[in-house]
Amino acid sequence: MKQYNLYAALRAAFPHDLDAAAVETDSGLVYSWRDLDRATAMIANLLVSLDLPPGSRIAVQVEKSVEAMMLYLATLRAGHVFLPLNTAYQSAEIEYFIGNAEPAVVVCSSRNFGWVSKLAFKAGTHHVFTLDEDRTGSLLARAAHCSDRHEIAPMGVDDLACIVYTSGTTGRSKGAMLTHGNMVSNAQVLKDYWGWRQGDVLIHALPIFHVHGLFVAIHGALLNGSKMIWLGKFDPKLVIAKMPEATVFMGVPTLYVRMLAEPTLTRRQASHMRLFISGSAPLLIETFNEWQERTGHTILERYGMSETIMLTSNPYDPEQGARRGGTVGFPLPGVGVRVRGDDGQAVPAGEIGGIQVKGPNVFKGYWRMPDKTKEEFTADGWFRTGDVGRIDQDGYVTIVGRSKDLIISGGYNVYPAEVEGYINEIPGVAESALVGVPHPDFGEVGVAVVIPKPGARIDGEQIVARLKSQLANFKIPKRCFVVDELPRNTMGKVQKNLLREQHKQLFG
Ligand code: MCA
Ligand code: AMP
């Protein structure tokens, strides 16, 4: 069925007045809806002129800018596959993503052009462009010569729109393949469920290389024809200052914690706002309560994954129920959520088990990993999230933990196996374990415990310094202890729960 293109769905929601403001930036720039449509057409035409095979991957590691969002929209419009990459990723991480995805086009910041283009050309990429946050770079220079008229590529529901890499529990990252159908269905459900209405204005303060900032926030505003107040970087003071001009805000819990530390956050300052949404990591009940007291608003917490976009949400409409702190609310309309025990059997309401999901939002599979994809689905077609939780009598879902060994730090995922792999390669290291411990700002942070080889002298600070040159900054352990042995169970397996317990007070 060739009738779907996520960009077409978003474009159809643009307001009649195309000269109205669509995006206002923190540096005072204003982009109209017409600007968005024309610029995305020009970039799409540049991609068309490259004569790429259908379904080509466009890998992008650039700083946040409106033009970076336009590149995303242009990729959709041209029918290619967008591959966003966190700007914190270092060369080893980028080499893996480019080697695995084999993108036809790579777009990077001009600062990184030297090393990124070398990696890209080595992997067979023919086109490397630059794009900087000040609207310079070869991508826009080339697109400036292209027509501003472009017919949106017709896509099938099942055709790929994006590949989002999510770190693997063991081994390397997996590329979650999301289709135009996944994205359109989820965006439409959220538009209705969160009561998007005329006059809404979104404060966009999240990075745009992960699901939360790139899909949930941008699709939400565009599909409602709503203006975005666009912040290049999260700044608690600035978000609070912008609240009287806005109605909707989305953030990870760390953003709420940081805003609560600002005396300017008051009930009056937040009185124009309609909705505060939190997700990507557990929101502490203390934060939920404190926000309610300070602003008079009840944060709406929701739950999702790169593989599934959004799955559950606390209700917006009070008639559907209260927003309950500590829960992630109800399965979204059309999304199936069930809890299964270790034996794969249903558990009674209120009991804990593995969360499994199904729906039009669930991804197509992991890029070039059919076996891994198969493993993550049950025989009857439900996706195993790796999250552990319960559904109570009233239907509220609560996440109580994760069966996957994952640390979520400030909304970013850190997979211990990946970091331990890098530590274990350091000369003098015999073995290591990375555990997540509570942190007042980031919610949770990684702490490394390392065993030296017999006779070797290693130093925790040196290990951290070395990792900084290899891994994205948010994956770097905040502390590194060198000890003689790791606690093990009778099977010889490292007991990470004991390490977590031992270090849980490290950050107060
Ligand atoms: C920065 N640092 C961190 C983190 N961020 N450490 C641990 N965890 C982090 N998340 C460290 C840096 O390594 C650096 O350390 C120091 O903090 C300052 O770095 P900077 O970049 O200036 O930090 P920041 O600007 O204050 O960033 C904090 C942040 C950012 C604003 C909370 O982490 C952020 O934007 N998080 C949002 C992530 C997000 O969008 N997640 C959604 C994923 P040093 O000085 O030692 O080098 S999508 C998802 O999860 C699903 C689908 C969902 O449900 O939404
Ligand atoms: P990612 O793969 O980066 O998309 O991260 C998805 C994971 O983030 C989920 O599997 C959950 O473990 C976690 N997550 C997302 N939203 C929430 C939330 N509201 N509460 C707790 N965990 C969450």
The Å distance, Cα 412 to ligand 1 centre, comes to 6
Please name the residue that has the structure tokens 């017999």: 454
Q: Are strands 365-366 and 330-331 parallel, antiparallel or unpaired?
A: unpaired
Q: Which CATH code is given to the segment(s) 327-397?
A: 2.30.38.10
Which ranges in the chain are annotated with CATH 2.30.38.10? 327-397
Provide the residue type at 448 as one letter.
Answer: A
Return d(Cα 60, Cα 79) in angstroms, integer.
16
253 lines ligand 1 (CB under 6 A): no
Q: How far is the CA of 111 from the centre of ligand 2 (A)?
A: 32
> What was the pLDDT predicted at 255?
98
* 164, HSE (Cβ side, Cα atoms, 13 Å): 24
Nearest CA to ligand 2 atom 23: 281
- Which atom of ligand 1 is the closest one to the Cα of 306? 52
Q: Does the beta carbon of 305 lie inside 6 Å of ligand 2?
A: yes
Q: Is 279 in the pocket of ligand 2 (CB under 6 A)?
A: yes
CA 265 to chain centroid, in Å, comes to 26
Q: In what order do the strands lie in the sheet with 479-482?
A: 429-439, 443-452, 479-482
What's the pLDDT score for residue 285? 98
Name the nearest CA neighbour of 315 among 193, 179, 445, 189: 193
Cβ–Cβ under 8 Å, residues 338 and 286: no
Give the β-pairing of 57-61 and 105-108.
Answer: parallel
Cα 280 to averaged position of ligand 2 atoms, centre (Å): 5
Residue ID of nearest Cα to ligand 2 atom 6:
305
Does the beta carbon of 313 lie inside 6 Å of ligand 2?
Answer: no
- CB of 282 closer than 6 angstroms to any ligand 2 atom: yes
How do the pLDDT tens digits run along the chain, 508 residues long? 456 899 999 999 999 999 999 999 999 999 999 999 999 999 999 999 999 999 999 999 999 999 999 999 999 999 999 999 999 999 999 999 999 999 999 999 999 999 999 999 999 999 999 999 999 999 999 999 999 999 999 999 999 999 999 976 566 799 999 999 999 999 999 999 999 999 999 999 999 999 999 999 999 999 999 999 999 999 999 999 999 999 999 999 999 999 999 999 999 999 999 999 999 999 999 999 999 999 999 999 999 999 999 999 999 999 999 999 999 999 999 999 999 999 999 999 999 999 999 999 999 999 999 999 999 999 999 999 999 999 999 999 999 998 888 999 999 999 999 999 999 999 999 999 999 999 999 999 999 999 999 999 999 999 999 999 999 999 999 999 999 999 999 888 899 999 999 999 999 8
Nearest protein Cα to ligand 1, atom 53: 280
Q: Among the atoms of ligand 1, which is closest to the Cα of residue 207?
A: 40
The ligand 1 atom at the shortest distance from the C-alpha of residue 414 is 8
Ligand 2 neighbour 280 (Cβ under 6 A): yes
Inter-CA distances, 475 with 168, 232, 415, Å: 14, 22, 8
Looking at ligand 1, which residue's alpha carbon is closest to its atom 26?
A: 234
Question: What are the CA-CA distances from residue 231 to residues 26, 133, 209 (Å)?
Answer: 5, 12, 14
CA of 115 to the centre of ligand 1 (A): 24
Strand stretches in 253-410, DSSP E: 275-278, 300-305, 309-313, 330-331, 336-340, 353-358, 365-366, 383-391, 397-402, 407-409
Task: Quickly list H helices, 5-150.
Answer: 6-12, 33-49, 66-78, 91-101, 113-122, 138-143
State whether residue 455 is helix, strand or coil: coil
**Ligand 1 centroid to 474 CA: how many Å?**
6
Task: Give the residue range(s) of CATH 3.30.300.30 domains in the chain.
Answer: 407-503
Where do the H-state alpha helices sit in 138-284? 138-143, 180-193, 211, 218-223, 236-242, 253-260
Indicate whether residue 252 lines ligand 1 (CB < 6 A): yes
- Which residue, judged by its Cα, is nearest atom 20 of ligand 2? 282
Is 327's C-beta closer than 6 angstroms to any atom of ligand 2? no
State phi, psi for 66 to the nearest 5 degrees.
-65, -35
Residue 273 CB–ligand 2 contact under 6 Å: no
Q: Is residue 303 within 8 Å of 399, Cβ to Cβ?
A: yes
Say if ligand 1 is within 6 A of residue 358 CB.
no
Measure 399 CA to ligand 2 centroid, in angstroms: 9
Is ligand 2 within 6 A of the CB of residue 303?
A: yes
Helix axis angle, 91-101 to 113-122, nearest 10°: 30
Does the 6-14+30-180+202-207 domain belong in CATH 3.40.50.12780? Answer: yes
- DSSP assignment letter at 225: T
What does the radius of gyration of the chain's CA atoms come to, in whole angstroms?
23
Q: Whose CA is nearest to atom 21 of ligand 2?
A: 282
Q: How far is the CA of 398 from the centre of ligand 2 (A)?
A: 12
The Cα 506–Cα 38 span in angstroms is 52
CATH 3.30.9.30 fits 407-503, yes or no: no
Could you say which ligand is closest to the alpha carbon of residue 309? 1
From the alpha carbon of 410, which atom of ligand 1 is closest? 10
Please list the residue range(s) of the chain that carry CATH number 3.40.50.12780: 6-14+30-180+202-207
Residues facing residue 310 across a β-bridge = 304
